[in-house]
Amino acid sequence: MFKKFALSIAMVTVCIGIKYSYYVLQRVPQLPELDFDRWWGEGNNPNPNQEDKSIRPFKIVFNNTMIDDLKSRLKNRRPFTRPLEGKQSEYGINTIYLEEKILKYWTDQYNFTDRAEHLNMYPHFKTKIQGLDIHYIRMKPEANNSNKRVLPLLLVHGWPSSSKEFYKVIPMLTTPRSGYDFVFEVIAVDLPGFGFSEGTNKPGLSALQMGIILRNLMKRLGFSKYYIQAGDWGSQAATHLSTVFQDEVLGFHSNIPVSLRPISVIKYIIGSLFPSLIVEDKYRNRMYPITDYVTFLLKETGYFHLQTTKPDTIGAALADTPAGLAAYILEKIGVGSNWDQLHTPHGGLDEINIDDLLDTVTIMWANERITTSMRIYAESVIDWLDDFIVDNIPTFVPMAAINFRYEIIYQPDWILRDKFPNLVHSTIHDFGGHFAAIQTPKELVDDIFESVVAFIKFHERNRSTLSR
């Protein structure tokens, strides 16, 4: 009798413990105190009334001094060590492919003048936000003869990209479509320290702080409410923006949708024991077995650890060598595009046009942005507390997720809803990778249009409910 009683008490205790643990994991913290005007420029924050709020047209130029120096460094570099016998791109970028396909093209065929003209095909601007010169593209729709609504859409890239990543999708987004009563006005921004945007000399510029800068940019441009599409670090910054300023974001579309709430991590770990509870069988290999995913992370995310801990060291190593910069950046783009092609000389790089690849490297080189761009990894982890707290706060902004085959992380919808309870649209593809705007622009844009329809319906339902 005593044993049965003791067993009953133990079972009740375990149940209470599980329920309490679940409550703790689900508990939503308070938003930390944040300075929405924190100064990132040189010196101290001036009088706000004296802050430069001008918006200046900007033109991209690759000057001859930079071009001649770049070509000289490429021609006078040391020879590469050849790949091991039987290895292609498994140990990193294939140096034969790098030399014969990438660097030879960059030196002899990449037309810097034509590419600068190509980059200037959209209107470029700069403005000071919190002390930093922020560069962005603002492209309004083509002639709108059908009186479609014009919706503001903020596009945000990640590492090692810039607003250049969106050149293929901008004309698709700003062209009216049959069957849709809206079209987009696009604002494609360079994150601070990326592309043509100024970096900071002050510590603490994490993804959360970049999200605040993006919000203040949109406010400067006159947008009190808008939609967002983002990937990679841009998606993390946009997630924070959508969490802190929930009344300002009409809808958030991400091609790397992820919930970093502790409850989501616990669900993932439990799923390693019982995968069928977490994910559909046809997508199981994107998450499990967990040992395969951990092995993949160990093989392919060494750069992440390096850039999180010692970004200035690797920055110094790459800042003086365009060949090394190209090798480092392009190897990661290849893996992110299709890691199943590491047995080939190109390692996934043939998935993307070579001019697009070299635009990314040239912009990084010309603006000396390798170190400032990598610091987002360190600042978002070392100065982690506020970012972690905001990560653990759900955002009720309507959200849309698109998952391409070779994205570096996959979470099913019911895990994503830990962070995004109003996930209203979800798409899964068996192709494509991390750099969707360059690699699969049509599929990305199609999904953005479909998602915004879902966002609009969500708001209409909410208004209807509130009016009752």
Residues annotated as catalytic (active site), given as ranges: 232, 377, 434
Q: CA-to-CA distance for 399 and 425, rounded, in angstroms?
A: 7
Please list, in sequence order, all residues whose beta carbon lies within 8 angstroms of the beta carbon of residue 333, skipping any fewer than 6 positions away. 160, 348, 349, 352, 357, 360, 435
What does the block give as tokens for 119?
């980059």
3-class secondary-structure state, position 16: helix
Selection from 405, 462, 391, 397 nearest residue 423 by Cα: 397
Q: Strand pairing of 249-254 and 226-230? A: parallel
Residue pair 420/394 in contact by the 8 Å Cβ criterion? yes
> What's the token pair of residue 232?
């990679």
Taking the C-alpha atoms of residue 409 and residue 429, their distance in angstroms, rounded to an integer, is 13
| Cα separation values, 357 from 7, 104, 157, 350, Å | 64, 14, 15, 10
Count the residues in the chain: 468
Give the pairing of strands 124-129 and 55-58: antiparallel
Contacts 24+ apart (CB under 8 A), 278-285: 278/412, 278/415, 279/412, 280/412, 283/410, 283/412, 283/428
- Using CA atoms, how far residue 235 sits from 3, 109, 230, 240, 259, in Å, is 54, 34, 5, 9, 11
Residue keyed to tokens 């040239």: 362
